[in-house]
Amino acid sequence: MSTNATTIVAPSSREALRLVREQLGPDAIILSNRVVDGGVEIIAMLDQEDVPQPQATVPPPVESVAPLLPVAAAPAPTPVPAPVAAVQAVAPISTPAAPAAPIAGSNNSVISEIHSMRGMIEEQLAGLVWNDKQRRDPVRGHLLRTLLGAGFSARLAKAMLDHLPTGQNFATGMAWVKAELARNLPLLENEDALMDAGGVYALMGPTGVGKTTTTAKLAARCVLRFGPEKLALLTTDSYRIGAFEQLRIYGQILGVSVHAVKDAADLRLALDDLRDKHMVLIDTVGKSQRDRTVSEQVAMLCGAGRPVKRLLLLNAASHGDTLNEVVHAYKHGAGGNELAGCIFTKVDEATHPGALLDTVIRHRLPVHYVSTGQKVPENLLLADRTQLVDSVFQAASRSSLFVPGEADLAERPAPLNNDAEVAAAAAQAAAQAETTERLRAQCQQLIRALAHDAEELAANAAALANGQIGFDGTRDLWRDLADDNVSSKVLTQKLLSQARTEIASACSDVVLAMGGKVELNAEQSGDAYILHGSLLLSDRGGMPLAAPHQVLSTAATAITTAAMAAVPGQRQRDWLQQQDFGKPLVHLLECMPLPEAMQDWSTDGVQWLARARAATPVLDGGDSTTLAKLAYQLDFTPQQAVIYKGKAALQSLAETTVALRLGSKGDAGALPAPALRCVVVRIADRHSGKQLAQWYLLSNLGPQLAASQLAEWTRWRLAADPYFRLLKQAVQQLGGCGQPGDADMLKRLLIAAQASTTVWRLLHAQDSWAPAARSLLAQLAGRQIRPGASRPASAAVLFEGFGKLIVLLDALDAEGATSPRQLSGIAAVQG
């Protein structure tokens, strides 16, 4: 065997191993590894001439985490020396000369041992480097323990943290982790498309996962969409006692036909008879993932004569390995029929739901819905990326008996004695002083650089100020963020004054008011809050103008009774009604008001417009019916061109008068049923004519407003809903949700809300100056927009750039002043 050895020195172990592979190939034997002045030194060798190489054995495939960037051959951090024992174990085998004759028989086993030992040493080296990475970067170790504590696998957690940017604290690192998880989480992106397409869906999964209850919940959503006549339920569960009876009861409640099938032939006949149904839901018999008949069940569905889309139900309370087995058992079908997606069940029972996200990320299995309880249909929600990721870390058990701790991971930080702690504190102080000097130099350098582009900067600032998007008012509010003399009460008065100014110039007859909820979490304590925001819209184009009032409540004290559920929203409406905006308010409600509120509002003169459910019971000329049934009796106007979700569509309308009973039938004390306008809106695709949506609008507004105006206001409200996603991102950029007693928290919420209206208006501005202004803000946020790009910068990016622009303008006005506020702001711009 050749004794020629190669010495390679590189800045990191990753680079050194890459050079070894380039120079010696994948069969190189690592003899030693040590830290030197230039980085890391690796001595390796390979018999290239005398020793016949055995045929490599292909290892079994490993589940990929490709979307999170795969684990590289060797980690990137600073290397550590390999154990001496390991090096000595390799050297005696590697140095003897090779025999002249080809090696066969027992000698092949020696070569195999060499290759096995090489792999073992490389694996140990990788593990040692990873552990050293945790010791050198405690934030990374803390994040790893957080991910494992939430239920994520070590494989996915380490693969993701390998790419964590340097210089993170725990809060920013956790935000990066959540963003990566959200980016890689596959979801059903468009429920409307799923519902409109219809078809046959089979709900599958192990026993006890909640298939029948989930089938009923999904059926209820379908009935609310297109009525009971267009839906049918099937069950293949002839084993479990009462299975068909349970589904039949749900079907009776919903008014949907229910059928039982026994085998493949029976299923084909049933589906053939139900071809007129828009959607068919199949409740299948539960089978363990280790049951060999699972493949037979899948084959039966794949050969049903009609395309059957399979949805797999995953129990959030199951162990990660169990979930992995379940997906493997149900994933593949005959003829390439893969799973269409999955539904999370029993999420309210899970202690470590990270295993769910881990499983669907690795298998690229889209999440359609999330089931959080037994109630039908309330406890079935459309999957939302941000909410799913946030809920995983909220639900993590604080006393995890079955999750490895620091000792199990061999990651316990080395203890520091007093001298070491003193030295570390001194080093930290020196680093902070150096950072301060660097920021001061950056500030002066940046101001000098901007002086060359002052004309362009001034032009964009002037365009923003003259663009009627509330720029000057928001810039003034931004300064109040750092002014301790401005209280939240003073800030509220300023917001009211700005709202009146905006309304006077942007509204014609009325002011449109809507509300929304934003879920927030305190970074340190993890306490959950709900921000109930108010938003005022223009009656000319539906553009958000002002957000003068915010109500913050703790999620832990959320009221769940039906009579009290609308209290935060009620507080918002009451507050808005007490203000004088110079024009009447019309409240665009997300759902129907409570009967008691209706009566009170009628007395107080509150005007409102709300979307109601298709199954809402109403009185039509004294006869009881539902809005869905009533719609079939109405005459619709010819279709007119409208914009729906940013695309051209066709709209037709029908109108009538209905009444709601405010009490049980026959109740002598029942309140009189108020007469309400009912407008039914149908929206269809402009090209295919396929119906995209059907709304049932109820309102106490008078006939002076056309039905088309009510429909247009509803479209505006729908288009403004994403504003509240921007509001959440804005709050996080301004410092997030603090702890109880944080005096500046309400100020941050108020300023974030009003600034979001300005950014929202800039995002949708069509004037000639707007693209250049958006490009400037994107550049300040570190993004580049190519000329003619089809997708502009997101609202969150514009908000980040907006804040940095204000800091820069203030810095230029001060002609190079270096206050702490300016230093921190310009540091953010720099990096």
What pLDDT, on the 0 to 100 scale, is given for residue 545? Answer: 94
Whether residue 310 sits in one domain with residue 389: yes
Q: What SS3 string covers 59-71?
A: CCCCCCCHHHCCC
Strand ranges (DSSP E) for 576-702? 585-589, 607-612, 617-620, 623-626, 640-644, 647-659, 675-685, 691-699
517 phi, psi to nearest 5 deg: -115, 140
- State which H helix or E strand residue 341 sits in: strand 341-345
Q: Is the distance from CB of 110 to CB of 98 less than 8 angstroms?
A: no
Q: Tell me if 754 is assigned to some domain.
A: no
Q: d(Cα 153, Cα 65) in Å, to the nearest integer? A: 11
Q: What was the pLDDT predicted at 638?
A: 94
Quick check: 572 and 551 in contact, CB under 8 A?
yes
The domain spanning residue 217 has which CATH number?
3.40.50.300
Distance CA 141, CA 200 (A): 47
Q: What is the Cα–Cα distance from 282 to 309, expressed in whole angstroms?
A: 10
- The pLDDT tens digits of the residues spanning 421-470 come to 555 556 656 665 665 565 555 555 555 444 445 667 778 888 999 999 99
3-state SS class at 9: strand
Q: Is residue 252 assigned to a domain?
A: yes
Whether residue 104 sits in one domain with residue 180: no
The position carrying tokens 């037979």 is 296
334 lies in the same domain as 386: yes
Question: Alpha helices of 734-769 — where are they, by DSSP H?
Answer: 745-764
Structure tokens at 729: 């991102």
**Spatial contact of 312 and 204, defined as CB atoms under 8 Å apart:** yes
Distance in angstroms (rounded) separating the CA atoms of residues 403 and 401: 6
- Cα 283 from Cα 285, distance rounded (Å): 7
Instruction: Supply 694's token pair.
Output: 């059907």
CA distances from 432 to 137, 323, 438, 770 (A): 18, 47, 10, 40
Q: For residue 377, is the peptide bond before it cis, meaning its omega torsion is within 30 degrees of 0? A: yes
The domain in which residue 297 lies consists of 191-395
- For 539-581, the pLDDT digits (tens) are 999 999 999 988 887 765 444 444 444 455 677 788 888 899 9
Three-class SS of 391-449: HHHHCCCCCCCCCCCHHHHCCCCCCCCHHHHHHHHHHHHHHHHHHHHHHHHHHHHHHHH
Q: Can you give the pLDDT at residue 718?
A: 93
CA atoms in the 13 A half-sphere facing the CB of 580: 1
Distance (Å, whole) CA 34 – CA 352: 40
What is the distance between the alpha carbons of residues 593 and 520, in angstroms, rounded to a whole number?
A: 25
**In angstroms, rounded to a whole number, what is the distance separating the alpha carbons of residues 68 and 358?**
11
For strands 308-315 and 341-345, give the pairing: parallel
Same domain, 132 and 180: no
Judge if 208 and 331 occupy the same domain: yes
Kindly state the DSSP code that residue 621 receives in the 8-state scheme.
Answer: T
Q: Is 765 a domain residue?
A: no
Contact 40, 13 (CB under 8 A): yes
d(CA 654, CA 637) in angstroms, rounded, equals 6
Residue partners of 57: CB distance under 8 A and separation at least 6: none
Do 124 and 146 lie in one domain? The reply is no
pTM exceeding the 0.75 threshold for the entire prediction: no
Going by their DSSP bridges, the two strands 308-315 and 623-626 should be labelled as unpaired
**From CA 610, how far away is CA 566, in angstroms rounded?**
14
- Judge whether 649 and 686 are in contact, CB under 8 Å: yes
Task: List, for the chain, all residue ranges whose pLDDT scores fall below the cut of 50.
Answer: 1-3, 47-126, 128-129, 396-399, 405-417, 448-452, 557-566, 668-669, 815-831
Distance of CA 95 to the CA centre of its chain: 56
Q: Give the whole-angstrom CA distance, residue 334 versus residue 716.
A: 46
Interatomic CA distance for residues 391 and 411, integer angstroms: 27
Q: How far apart are the first and last CA of the chain?
A: 54
The tokens for 273 are 């008879």
How many Å apart are CA 107 and CA 53, to the nearest integer? 11
Number of domains in the chain: 3
Let me know whether 86 and 71 are in one domain.
yes
Residue 564 covered by a domain = no
76: Cβ–Cβ under 8 A, 6 or more apart, which residues?
12, 13, 14, 162
C-alpha neighbours within 13 Å on the C-beta side of residue 487:
2
Q: Which pLDDT score, from 0 to 100, does residue 354 have?
A: 86
Domain boundary residue, one of 375, 395, 415: 395
336 burial type by CB count under 10 A (0-12 exposed, 13-18 middle, 19+ buried): exposed
Cα distance between residue 597 and residue 616, in whole Å? 17
Does residue 156 belong to any structural domain of this protein? Answer: yes
Q: Please give the Cα distance from 641 to 648 (Å, whole number).
A: 7
Residue 11 near residue 31, CB atoms below 8 Å: no
List, in order, residues 6 or more apart from 677 with CB less than 8 Å away.
655, 657, 697, 698, 699, 700, 701, 703, 707, 710
Q: Does one domain contain both 116 and 265?
A: no
What are the tokens at 98?
Answer: 């090779």
How many residues are there in the chain?
Answer: 831
123 within domain boundaries? yes
Pick from 395, 422, 447: which residue ends a domain?
395
pLDDT (0 to 100) of residue 101: 40
Q: How many Cα neighbours within 13 Å face the side chain of 787?
A: 0
CB-CB contact of 271 with 304 (8 Å): yes
Three-class secondary structure assignment of 91-104: HHHHCCCCCCCCCC
pLDDT at 379: 75
3-state DSSP call for residue 496? helix
> Directed axis angle between helix 211-226 and helix 243-254, to 10°?
20
* Statement to judge: residues 24 and 61 lie in one domain: yes
Answer whether residue 311 is part of any domain.
yes
Boundary of a domain, candidates 136, 167, 201: 136
Residue with tokens 């267009």: 230
Instruction: Tell me the pairing of strands 29-36 and 39-45.
Output: antiparallel
* One-letter amino acid for residue 415 of the chain: P
What local confidence, expressed as pLDDT, does residue 793 receive? 82
Q: Are 586 and 569 in contact (CB under 8 A)?
A: no
Say yes or no: 111 and 14 in one domain.
Answer: yes
Q: What letter would DSSP give residue 646?
A: T
147 and 96 in a common domain: no
- Per the domain annotation, does 429 fall within a domain? no
Judgement on whether residues 106 and 23 belong to the same structural domain of the protein: yes
pLDDT of amino acid 134: 53
